[in-house]
Structure 1
């Protein structure tokens, strides 16, 4: 697949989360995350046990807004291509195209039904464990080490300033005098 084609297919989604009251064009901004309830729904919104307003409904058609899986946008022609010199019958081509699409869609749906929920649960569990471990174990340990070794940072900056920087500066000045001239014979 051509890398220039990837940028043309993706759509950008702009979400403004600022709470500013002044607008440039004088119009009210559209709510991107909540649908406006009808007048009848406004009265029943707090009493209904099943609220019909969804936070994800506006984004349900944009399932890959960042284009993470652009490499998986594969068509039949990307997989099976017949050269002009060798061709099968038109009916064979049409039926193989139809079967390819049906198998691709239905097998993907079956596999996602079987694996999507367990993998989502496992991924969420691992993310929660790693986040908890990082927040409660790794970050405090790093902060304790930094507080205990602040003197070492000061010593290291002094060593760099007194020994390493003058040495490298003088080596750079010595090597800066060299020049290479290429001449054609």
Structure 2
């Protein structure tokens, strides 16, 4: 595990959480027709930023490690399941299906096609 490559500036380089906009301007906005007092708007911005930052840091401190442990375990299990069970099962089915496909093709070629050709030959002489 190489933690030396962690980017502490851009923590979402793949933008997987771009749908979460939590900047003040993205949440609260006053249209041109109705405005609060400038001081109230400034204080609202300060309160919003303080509580967003404070609560987010408190929640990540208290819950973040447990949640990260859970998701790490979950993705380890998913990787284990795919590597050791699902992929070999699918590969086994793929190998066995080749045999089934050959048997199916032989049955169709030996029984169904001759019957269809015989029926076709019976009705070939009928003309509207």
If the length of structure 2 is used for normalisation, what is the TM-score?
0.70
Instruction: Confirm or deny that 1:86 pairs with 2:34.
Output: yes
Please state which structure has a larger fraction of its residues in helix.
Answer: 2
Task: Spell out, residue by residue over 1:118-159, the C-alpha distance to the aligned partner (whole angstroms, 9 max, x if none).
Answer: 111111111112222222222222222222221223456786
Point out 4+ residue stretches in structure 1 off by more than 4 angstroms: 155-159
| Ranges in structure 1 where 5+ consecutive residues have no aligned partner | 1-53, 164-185
* Pair 157,67 (structure 1): closer, same or farther in 2 beyond 3 Å: farther
Q: In 1, Cα distance between the equivalents of 2:10 and 2:26?
A: 23
Q: In 1, Cα distance between the equivalents of 2:35 and 2:97?
A: 73
Q: Tell me the CA shift for residue 74 of structure 1.
A: 3.1
Question: What's the secondary structure of 2:13's corresponding residue?
Answer: coil
Question: What's the secondary structure of 1:74's corresponding residue?
Answer: coil
Q: In 1, Cα distance between the equivalents of 2:105 and 2:16?
A: 42
Equivalent runs, 1:40-59 vs 2, <5 Å: 55-56=4-5, 59=7
Q: CA RMSD, aligned part only?
A: 2.6
Aligned residue in 2 for 1:101: 49
* Pair 157,118 (structure 1): closer, same or farther in 2 beyond 3 Å: farther
If the length of structure 1 is used for normalisation, what is the TM-score?
0.50
| Ranges in structure 2 where 5+ consecutive residues have no aligned partner | 114-128
Structure of greater Rg: 2
Aligned residue in 2 for 1:77: 25
